[in-house]
Every structure is written in C-alpha cells, then in structure tokens.
C-alpha cells in the first residue's frame, strides 16, 4: 500500500526590481478591465475553463432519475409540478413544493438532468383532470369529472390496480393520446436544454415489476427527437423485449441506452444468473445486455445497491442506507439478497467473461434520486422529501405516520447524483460519457473522482502537473478495459484522484475494491484502503482505524477538523494473478456527517429517529476498470460453481 | 347582503366555517364517535370498509375473514392506546404532535384563499416594485490564491495573511499567481462567472462572502470548504431584470404566492390577537411572531 503525501511548497515572493515595477505600473491601468492572470487549474481538472471542448474532459454533475406529475404515482403523492418545474429546480431555480406550499431550491445547481416519468400511463392523470381532454368521456374521466372525494378515489383505484396487475385500461394506452402526453415530456426536455450550460436528456422509466420483483430500467435517448412512443411494462415485463425495442429505436436513428435501478429490491431478479425464460446466459444474451445497459444506478432514495453486509461481511462500510428492504407492493415481503447487488454482479460478470466469452454485467456507475416531487434532493442539509404528502415537512417525516408502499418516510435516503467526465456540457457529450462509462455515482455530495488504470504508472504520477494527460496516455479511464498486459508488466497500476465537495465533509479514505474469479470457479472480493487522511496507520488486522466523528447530534453540526480536502495515489495490485479475470472500482468515503433525519430532529428539537443512524459517511463510487487475461493464460473449467449452481 | 359578503371574505370566519364543516363531516363518517363513552370502542361500517379497501389495494384481493379480524384487532388496539394516551395527557408537551397540529392549521390557512389571476396592470406594477428576485445572479471576474490546511496545518491562516500583505504591496496583478499559494485544488482566475457557477467551484459559504469584498484590491482571508483564500475581484456585473413578457409565468406564480402568504399571515396574526400571551421569564422581552407558527 502506498500513500502519496504532497510536498509543502514554500511561499515564494517574486522579486520586485525597479524596471519590473515600472512595467507593472504601466500595466496597472489596464488590469482592472482585462485581467492578465493565467489560470492554474485543479490538478484533476485541467483545461476546464478553456471555453472549447476539453479533450481531457470536465466533470459534470446531474440527475438521471426523476419523476414529475406525469407519473401516476407521483400524482397520487399530490405532486402537481411537471417536467418543466423539475428542470427549473435542477438548474437552481426555486419551485413550489405542491404539498407544503413552500418554495424549495437547491444550494448548488446541476449541470444536467433527465426527467424519467413512468411510461405506464405517462401523463394520463393531468390529462384526465383537463376538462378539454377527450379522456373526459371515458369511465374514469367521468368519475373524475364528478369531483367528489369518493369518485376521485374510485378513479385512482382503477388506475393503480390495473398498473399493479399489469393489465392496461385500453383508452389510457390509446397510441394517439399517449403520443400527446409523451410529446409534452420531449418538449420540456428540449425547452430547457441550453448547450454548454445545462443539458437535458429525453428519457422515461420502464417499470417492469413481475411478482413485485423490481426490474425497473430508465431509458435515455441521444437525439432531440426521441422515439415515437416509450416502451412500457404493458408491452412486456421481459428485459429481452426492452432490448429489442432499444435495438429497433437505434435502427431508426434514436441512439439510446437503459439503466437499471433498485436491484436491492429485485428479489434476486436483477442480476440473476439466467435469462427471463430461465435459460443459462449465453454469449449473445450477455452481449445484448452489455450493449443496451452500459450503466447501473448505485444509490437513490430507496437505498443503495452496491452490496449488503451479508454478501460483504469484511466491508465495515457495507451497511449504508440499507433499511429499505421490502419488495414494492408486496405487503412486506423482504427482498432476497443473492444476485440483487452490484458488487456481486460485477464479480459474476468477469466469471461469465471467462465462462462464455462475454460479460452481461459490464456496468458503469451512476446514481440518482427517484424523487416523485420533481425535485432532486441530494443535499443532506436541504432535504425536503421525495414523496409529497408523506414526507414534505420535518414533522411528517419524523412522525412515522406516512409511508410509501409500507415503508416509513424516515427509511428513505437523500438522493444520489451522477458525475460524468465529458469534453463539454452538451446532450451528445453527456450521453456519450455515460455510454462509455466514464462516470461515477455519489450518495449526494459533489465529490469529484478520477480513476485510471494502466501497466506502468509511476508512483508520483498524481503529483505531476500533467497528471490527467499522462494518465490517459499511459492507460485507460474508469469504465474501460485495461490494455493488453505487456510481457514484462507484473501487475496493473491504478491512479485515483478525489476532491471533496466544498459544501460537504472532508474525505476519510479512498478504497479500491477488486472482484475476481479463481481457478475453482468461484467469485471473490477484496477491499484495499489506498489513500487516507490524518496520518493513520493500519492496525494489525490490516484495517485502517476509523477517521473519528465530529458530529454534534443535538445540533446537527460537524467540523472539518478531521479528514482531507483531496486524496490521490497510485496503487499497484499486490495480489495480481495474470490468469484471473478481475474487475476494480474505486470508492471514496467522507468523514461522518449528520443524516437528513438528524438535521430534521435538530430543527424540531427532538431526538433523531432510532430506526436509522444519526450520522452517515457519504461516498462516491467510480466506474470499474476490467482486466481480461489473454486466452493462452486462462485454463477454462468444465463447471463454474459460482455461476451455475443456482440454475433452476 | 353586503355584510354577509364581507363576512365571507374574512379569513378567520372562513376558517371557523371550514373547521365546523370538517367536524361535521367527521361526525358523519364516524357515527360511532358520538356514541362512544370512555370505555367503549365502536368500529363503524365506514371504518371496516376503509380497512378492507386498504387491504385490497395492497394485495389485489379482499381480505379473508381471519385477515379482516386481524386488521380490526390491530385497529381497535391502536384506537384504545390512542384514547389511553389522550386520557393520560400524552399528547401534551410533545413537540412533534404540537408542531404537526400547528402546521395543519397553517396549511389550512394557506388553502383558504385562492387569489384571482392578476390583471396585466397589477402584475406589471408589482414586477416593477419587486424586480430583484427575478434578476439573474451577479457575475464576478476574480483572481484567487488558495492556502491548503492539509499541507500547512496550523500556520495556514498566518501564511495567507503574510501573502496578503505581499500581494497588496504590489502595484499590479502578477501574471502568474501560482507561486503565492497552493495549487492543485482550485484555479487562480475565473472570468465572468455567475454566483451559481462559482458556488459549484468554491461552495456556498465562499460565494456568500463575495458581496462583502472590496473590488480591485486583495481581500482575505476568505474561508471555503477547502481552506483559506485571498481574493481579488476584478469586476462585478449585475444583470438587468428580464422583460416581464419573457418571465410572465414565473412572476405570476410569485405574485400568487405572495397573496397567499399575506392572507395566511393576516389570518394567523388575527388568531394570535385573540389570545392573551403571558411570558413568565421576565428577562426575555418577547413578542410572539405569528407567521412562525408551525415552522
């Protein structure tokens, strides 16, 4: 393990000669109007301010999962703000939260956002309320027109029931009416797209949920026109059929990808070791999966999907925002853990690469909110709830009264966000950044992470002014395959650079997490602490001691007297075996800070809720880098117990 | 007739009427409530129906007899414990319950008045008086030097103050500031950046201090989430407010919100006036801020 310590530079004072002083005096008059200073950039973000597309890529933060009044369930939570409001909030404008009637606003705006309303009955609730809509003559339209509480309830009940049992009401999936509603979403995305300043993506959510197993995917488009209509779970609940739709749209010129989420409540379905029909995963299936779903959502308000303490007993950071455990709409059935989490899927993915020659779980990492109130609430200290009438005020959130699908409001986390490395802030550049997986997800703060892999990075690379340029030249960025191993190289080297969010806690540590398949056909994972703050020494068990905790729970405050502003390091895998397929991703951990529920409790002057921790360690996950051995190095097995034992 | 109209416009009367209506509706829905004495729990048909519906919503089928009995048992238990809690006075001195109920009244007060849409004249006049909140954020052109506490530890602030003296003594802006502080975290020069954009780079705390800095000279130390900065503001540009026609929708929303706020505040003020407030702590001069109720 290496740790990079930066040199303290002495404060140099420029000499002031008489002639230099004279020339400076002459210049002084012009200085105020035309500053002549050059910009010495952050070492991890060179060229950000050049004003032209940056070949070394800039980081852009944003939201890839957000619902507005066009989603029937959001409408039922009382949300009346639409996609336009959602984009305005993301840009930093204040919008009115429907249920509290209060103006809400982000402290730090996003660079991009995609509103992803459910494609099932997308936009139908607002249309049913519109007296001029043709839907007014339908059975449900008439019930709503009656205007009584009971008739409204009856109307909504019909809609929710049909969505739950996945049998559509014919006039609510009428292609003509659907197209009108879908076009509104496209128009909102295009209206708020300001190339160079703020990017939107045309997108929606395919909400497949057979037997309450969450298989939801968000679908995103690269162009400004988008598809004729979205694909819904009424069309099919099988992901193979979603891929067929995606491939068809691609053939029409609508380049797209989909991103699965909430594998944590998929009841083992999201990363199952077999297809929807129960057949073994073959090479073609794996390739279609990798092509159509290049990224996975690591965290959102319904919990994180990285891993579970049962799957990662040696990971002291595994239990994080993991209290949301029940299958949606199941009436309290706990989701199965096996094949429901990303780390295990990434590991099984490299096993498949060895077994069938393709990796079905080759995901980059993103994160989002899944908020249903048009507001992406990633700021822990500025949390205003994600489900309208059940969590719009601190009192309601802590009262335990409201619930979504049986889960009390306090178990929901704040939103995650996505960081994309891209040359500029345009729809194409952001889309391409996610498609090539040069992304990271965070649990909310705007932590910045660079992660590179190569075969011969020098130990002091991260101190070099040209760190980023040399890292690209000598290797690959996050989301890529390591180049072929040079004969003389002993082990891969990885360069990580992480910078804190100036509005959040300092950084505790950087870890690299490795997953691999061994010669007996089993998957393994190991966590390496690679850079950390405050001159700590790992203990006898090899574990780095905790960074400490400065949180004053009753006041919901903390101090940045522990932790570091930035951490960076070049790390070499000490356990590398060139014959084993492997995957590496980086995790950056903040010092402990108050959870939103602790801020709420301090505001109300009560004790924080007992169901959740009072303090959390926010974090970022950088997309993986994969190692695939040359074929002559691998001895393939006849049977892979890690991948084949659980076939039905 | 005029008097009645005036009466109906009065928010307080309105509120009491709504309160009465809510109470009446509750009585209708829950006929058991009146009949109940201290030791009786009556479960009404309406409640049974509502419980059945909740179950059906969750499971897509009506509950079996046993399941319904289980739900009812749970319901009755909750009702009994609730009654006991009330009898024991557990609802008093509970801040969460107090605040929740206060907030319910506040929300109710906001829904009392839905203002009419404003005429063009009204809106234009109001916008002319309140242009500030619709103005785009100020943009700054600034140079800065950063001092990193990770590297300098306890002397960070001292180092910054020393460098400030040096920089202030210079006749002109050095072309290269990289020799003055620590590089690698943030850049030295930002041209024409809005407060929002600067917030993305330096954080909210840093940006809030910019307005206090004297332009065209070195200021500091200024603190951010990263550490200590010295800042030279070359120029601040305050954009003109946009034309009303371009942001009519937003202005109208803000106007409506203000109307609702005003009516709600007036109502809550009136409510507070009906009380005599006695504060026993003599050393604290206290006026009750009515609009703060429930916040």
For residue A276, give the nearest of A237, A244, A247 by alpha carbon.
Answer: A237
Residues in chain A with CB shorter than 8 Å from the CB of B216 are 32
Restricting to A residues 322-341, those with a Cβ less than 8 Å away from any Cβ of B are 329, 331
Query: pLDDT per residue over A142-176, tens digit each?
Result: 887 777 767 777 887 788 778 777 788 888 988 88
Say yes or no: B261 contacts chain A, CB-CB below 8 A.
Answer: no
Q: Is the Cβ pair B188, A396 closer than 8 Å?
A: no
Residues in chain B with CB shorter than 8 Å from the CB of A38 are 175-176, 188-189
Q: pLDDT at position A203, please? A: 98
**Kind and range of the H or E element at A280?**
none
Q: Per the structure block, which two tokens stand in for A288?
A: 């279609």
Q: Is the Cβ pair B226, A500 closer than 8 Å?
A: yes
Say yes or no: B287 contacts chain A, CB-CB below 8 A.
Answer: no
Q: pLDDT at position B57, please? A: 66
Say yes or no: A76 contacts chain B, CB-CB below 8 A.
Answer: no
Q: Is the Cβ pair B173, A31 closer than 8 Å?
A: yes
> How close A513 gets to chain B, by Cα (Å)?
26
Query: pLDDT per residue over B101-160, tens digit each?
Result: 887 787 777 776 667 888 999 999 999 998 888 888 899 999 999 999 988 988 999 999
List beta partners, residue A63: A113
**Residue at A6 is within a domain:** no
Confidence of residue A458 (pLDDT cuts 50, 70, 90): very high
> For the complex shown, is ipTM > 0.95?
no
Q: Per the structure block, which two tokens stand in for B113?
A: 């008045």
Q: pLDDT at position B28, please? A: 38
Whether A417 and A472 share a structural domain? no
- Closest chain A residue by Cα to residue B158: A11
Say yes or no: A30 contacts chain B, CB-CB below 8 A.
Answer: no
Q: Looking at the domain that runs over B136-237, which CATH code has it been given? A: 3.10.50.40
C-alpha span between A154 and A150 (Å, rounded): 6
First to last CA, chain B: 38
Say yes or no: A211 contacts chain B, CB-CB below 8 A.
Answer: no
**Residue at A126 is within a domain:** yes
Q: Who among A43, A157, A606 is closest to B184 (CB)?
A: A43
A472 and A46 Cβ atoms separated by less than 8 Å: no
Q: Who among A111, A399, A502 is closest to B225 (CB)?
A: A502
Q: Return the percentage of chain B with pLDDT > 70, whole number.
A: 79
B171 has a pLDDT exceeding 80: yes
Task: Label residues A228-251 b or e (16+ Cβ within 10 Å = b).
Answer: ebbbbbbbbbbbebbbebbeebbe
C-alpha span between B259 and A180 (Å, rounded): 34
Q: Per the structure block, which two tokens stand in for B250?
A: 């937003």
Whether A571 and A428 share a structural domain? no
**Residue at A16 is within a domain:** no
Q: Is the Cβ pair B59, A502 closer than 8 Å?
A: no
Q: Is the Cβ pair B150, A164 closer than 8 Å?
A: no
**Residue at A584 is within a domain:** yes
- Mean pLDDT score, A530-548: 91
pTM of the model: 0.80
A288 and A276 Cβ atoms separated by less than 8 Å: no
**Residue at A603 is within a domain:** yes
A306 and A343 Cβ atoms separated by less than 8 Å: yes
Q: Per the structure block, which two tokens stand in for A639?
A: 């049977």
Query: pLDDT per residue over A92-108, tens digit each?
Result: 999 988 888 888 999 99
Whether A327 and A386 share a structural domain? yes
Q: What is the mean pLDDT of chain B?
A: 80
Whether A419 and A504 share a structural domain? no
Query: pLDDT per residue over B9-27, tens digit each?
Result: 444 444 444 444 444 433 3
Whether A413 and A560 share a structural domain? no
Q: pLDDT at position B127, please? A: 93
Confidence of residue A646 (pLDDT cuts 50, 70, 90): low
Q: What is the mean pLDDT of chain A?
A: 89
Whether A356 and A453 share a structural domain? no
Whether A393 and A468 share a structural domain? no
Whether A269 and A402 share a structural domain? yes
Q: pLDDT at position B163, please? A: 95
Max avg pLDDT among A270-284, B96-110, B183-197: A270-284
Strands B189-194 and B218-223: unpaired
For residue B259, give the nearest of A101, A223, A217 by alpha carbon.
Answer: A101
Q: Is the Cβ pair B199, A107 closer than 8 Å?
A: yes
A459 and A2 Cβ atoms separated by less than 8 Å: yes
A625 and A584 Cβ atoms separated by less than 8 Å: yes
Among A439, A463, A494, the domain boundary falls at: A439
Q: Who among B189, B206, B257 is closest to A37 (CB)?
A: B189
Give me the DSSP letters along A83-126.
Answer: HHHHHHHHHT--EE-TTT--EE--SS--SEE----BSTTTTHHH
C-alpha span between B106 and B295 (Å, rounded): 9
Restricting to A residues 220-279, those with a Cβ less than 8 Å away from any Cβ of B are none
Q: How many other CB atoms sit within 10 Å of the CB of residue A330?
A: 19
Q: pLDDT at position A19, please? A: 39
- Mean pLDDT score, A428-457: 98
Q: Per the structure block, which two tokens stand in for A609?
A: 């809720």
**Residue at A400 is within a domain:** yes
- Mean pLDDT score, A18-36: 38
Q: Is the Cβ pair A446, B200 closer than 8 Å?
A: yes
C-alpha span between A341 and A323 (Å, rounded): 14
Host domain of residue A637 = 448-644
C-alpha span between B74 and A336 (Å, rounded): 28
Query: pLDDT per residue over A285-342, tens digit each?
Result: 999 999 999 999 999 999 999 999 999 999 999 999 998 888 876 767 888 999 999 9
Query: pLDDT per residue over A202-255, tens digit each?
Result: 999 999 988 888 999 999 999 999 999 999 999 999 999 999 999 999 999 999
- Closest chain B residue by Cα to residue A47: B187
List beta partners, residue B52: none
Residues in chain A with CB shorter than 8 Å from the CB of B171 are 21, 24-25, 28
Confidence of residue A60 (pLDDT cuts 50, 70, 90): very high
A354 and A281 Cβ atoms separated by less than 8 Å: no
**Residue at A31 is within a domain:** no
Overall residue count recorded for chain A in this entry: 648
Whether A412 and A456 share a structural domain? no
Of the residues A8, A22, A35, A500, the best mutation for testing chain B's interface (the one with the most B CB atoms within 10 Å of its CB) is: A35
Q: pLDDT at position B174, please? A: 87
Q: pLDDT at position B285, please? A: 57
Q: pLDDT at position B183, please? A: 82
Region(s) of chain B under CATH 3.10.50.40: 136-237
Restricting to B residues 132-191, those with a Cβ less than 8 Å away from any Cβ of A are 141, 143, 148-152, 159, 162-163, 166, 170-191
Confidence of residue B236 (pLDDT cuts 50, 70, 90): very high
Among A421, A439, A457, the domain boundary falls at: A439
Q: Per the structure block, which two tokens stand in for A158?
A: 């019909």
Q: pLDDT at position B287, please? A: 57
> How close B26 gets to chain A, by Cα (Å)?
14
Whether A515 and A404 share a structural domain? no
Say yes or no: A396 contacts chain B, CB-CB below 8 A.
Answer: yes
B34 has a pLDDT exceeding 60: no
Confidence of residue B37 (pLDDT cuts 50, 70, 90): low
If one counts the domains in chain A, the total is: 2
Whether A429 and A510 share a structural domain? no
B5 has a pLDDT exceeding 70: no
Q: pLDDT at position B71, please? A: 84
Say yes or no: A39 contacts chain B, CB-CB below 8 A.
Answer: yes
Whether A383 and A472 share a structural domain? no
Among A386, A414, A439, the domain boundary falls at: A439
Task: Label residues B91-122 b or e (16+ Cβ within 10 Å = b).
Answer: eeeeebeebbebbebbbbbbebbeeeebeeee
A363 has a pLDDT exceeding 80: yes
**Residue at A434 is within a domain:** yes
- Mean pLDDT score, A113-124: 95
Say yes or no: B73 contacts chain A, CB-CB below 8 A.
Answer: no
> Which of the residue ranges A136-140, A408-412, A478-482, B94-98 would you say has the lowest mean pLDDT?
B94-98
Q: Is the Cβ pair A502, B224 closer than 8 Å?
A: yes
> Which of the residue ranges A360-364, A410-414, A540-544, A595-599 would you say has the lowest mean pLDDT?
A540-544
Query: pLDDT per residue over B47-99, tens digit each?
Result: 898 888 877 766 667 888 888 888 898 889 888 998 888 888 888 877 777 87
Q: pLDDT at position A20, please? A: 40
Q: pLDDT at position A101, please? A: 80
- Closest chain A residue by Cα to residue B93: A606
């Amino acid at each position: 393990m290496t740790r990079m310590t930066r040199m303290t530079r002495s404060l140099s004072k420029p000499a002031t000669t008489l002639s230099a002083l004279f020339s400076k005096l002459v210049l002084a008059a012009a200085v105020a109007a035309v500053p002549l200073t050059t910009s010495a950039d952050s070492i991890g973000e060179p060229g950000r301010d050049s004003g032209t597309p940056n070949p070394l890529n800039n980081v852009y933060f944003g939201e890839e999962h957000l619902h507005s009044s066009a989603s029937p369930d959001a409408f039922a939570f009382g949300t009346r703000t639409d996609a336009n409001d959602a984009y305005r909030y993301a840009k930093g404008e204040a919008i009115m939260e429907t249920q509290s009637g209060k103006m809400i606003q982000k402290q730090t705006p996003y660079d991009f956002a995609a509103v992803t309303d459910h494609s099932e009955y997308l936009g139908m609730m607002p249309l049913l309320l519109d007296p001029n809509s043709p839907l007014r003559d339908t059975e449900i339209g008439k019930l709503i027109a009656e205007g009584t509480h009971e008739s409204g309830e009856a109307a909504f009940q019909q809609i929710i029931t049909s969505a739950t049992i996945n049998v559509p009401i014919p006039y609510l999936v009428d292609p003509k009416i659907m197209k009108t509603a879908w076009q509104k979403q496209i128009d909102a995305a295009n209206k708020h797209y300001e190339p160079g300043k703020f990017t939107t993506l045309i997108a929606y959510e395919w909400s497949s949920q057979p037997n309450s197993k969450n298989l939801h995917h968000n679908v995103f488009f690269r162009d400004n026109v988008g598809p004729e209509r979205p694909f819904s779970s009424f069309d099919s609940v099988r992901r193979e059929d979603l891929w067929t739709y995606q491939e068809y749209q691609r053939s029409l010129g609508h380049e797209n990808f989909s991103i699965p989420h909430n594998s944590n409540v998929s009841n083992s379905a999201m990363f199952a070791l077999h297809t929807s029909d129960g057949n073994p995963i073959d090479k073609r299936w794996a390739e279609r999966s990798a092509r159509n779903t290049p990224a996975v959502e690591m965290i959102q308000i319904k919990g994180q999907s990285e891993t579970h303490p049962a799957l990662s007993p040696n990971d002291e950071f595994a239990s994080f925002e993991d209290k949301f455990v029940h299958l949606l709409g199941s009436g309290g059935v706990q989701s199965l853990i096996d094949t429901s989490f990303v780390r295990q899927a990434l590991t099984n993915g490299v096993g498949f690469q060895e077994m069938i020659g393709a990796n079905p779980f080759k995901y980059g990492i993103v994160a989002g909110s899944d908020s249903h109130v048009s507001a992406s609430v990633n700021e822990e200290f500025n949390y205003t709830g994600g489900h309208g009438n059940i969590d719009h005020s601190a009192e309601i959130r802590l009262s335990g009264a409201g619930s979504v699908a049986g889960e009390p409001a306090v178990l929901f986390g704040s939103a995650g966000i996505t960081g994309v490395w891209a040359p500029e802030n345009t729809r194409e550049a952001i889309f391409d950044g996610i498609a090539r997986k040069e992304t990271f997800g965070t649990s909310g703060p705007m932590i910045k992470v660079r992660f590179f892999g190569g075969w011969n990075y020098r130990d002091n690379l991260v101190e070099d002014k040209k760190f980023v340029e040399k890292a690209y030249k000598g290797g690959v960025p996050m989301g890529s395959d390591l180049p072929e191993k040079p004969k003389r190289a002993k082990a891969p080297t990885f360069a990580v650079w992480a910078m804190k969010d100036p509005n959040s806690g300092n950084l505790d540590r950087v870890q690299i997490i490795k997953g691999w398949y061994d010669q007996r056909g089993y998957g393994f994972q190991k966590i390496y602490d690679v850079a950390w703050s405050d001159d700590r020494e790992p203990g006898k068990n090899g574990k780095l001691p905790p960074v400490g905790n400065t949180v004053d729970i009753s006041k919901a405050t903390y101090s940045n007297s522990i932790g570091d502003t930035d951490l960076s390091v070049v790390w070499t895998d000490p356990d590398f075996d060139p014959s084993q397929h492997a995957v590496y991703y980086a995790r950056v951990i903040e010092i402990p800070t108050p959870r939103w529920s602790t801020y709420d409790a301090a505001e109300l002057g009560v004790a924080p809720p007992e169901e959740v921790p009072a303090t959390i360690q926010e974090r970022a996950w950088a997309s993986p880098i994969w190692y695939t051995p040359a074929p002559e190095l691998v001895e393939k097995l006849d049977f892979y117990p890690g991948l084949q034992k659980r076939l039905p | 007739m005029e008097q009645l109209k005036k009466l109906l416009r009065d928010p307080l009367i309105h509120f009491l009427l709504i309160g009465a209506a809510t109470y009446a509706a509750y009585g209708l829905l829950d006929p058991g409530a009146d009949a109940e004495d201290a030791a009786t729990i009556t479960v009404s048909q309406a409640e049974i129906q509502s419980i059945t519906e909740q179950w059906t919503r969750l499971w897509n089928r009506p509950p079996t007899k046993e399941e319904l009995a289980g739900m009812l048992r749970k319901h009755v238990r909750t009702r009994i414990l609730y009654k006991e809690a009330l009898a024991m006075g557990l609802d008093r001195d509970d801040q969460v319950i107090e605040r929740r109920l206060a907030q319910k009244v506040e929300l109710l007060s906001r829904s009392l008045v839905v203002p009419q849409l404003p005429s063009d004249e009204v809106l234009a006049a109001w916008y002319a008086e309140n242009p500030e909140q619709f103005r785009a954020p100020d943009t700054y052109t600034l140079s800065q030097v950063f001092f990193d506490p990770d590297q300098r530890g306890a002397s960070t602030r001292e180092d910054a103050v020393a460098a400030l003296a040096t920089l202030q003594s210079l006749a002109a802006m050095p072309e290269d500031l990289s020799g003055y502080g620590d590089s690698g975290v943030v850049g030295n020069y930002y041209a024409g950046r809005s407060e929002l954009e600067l917030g993305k780079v330096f954080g909210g705390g840093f940006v809030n201090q910019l307005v206090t800095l004297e332009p065209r000279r070195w200021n500091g130390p200024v603190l951010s989430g990263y550490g200590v900065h010295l800042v030279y503001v070359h120029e601040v540009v305050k954009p003109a407010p946009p034309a009303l026609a371009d942001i009519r929708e937003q202005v109208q929303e803000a106007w409506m919100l203000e109307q609702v706020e005003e009516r709600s505040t007036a109502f809550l003020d009136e409510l507070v006036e009906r009380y005599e407030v006695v504060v026993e702590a003599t050393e604290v001069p206290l006026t009750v801020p009515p609009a703060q109720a429930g916040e």
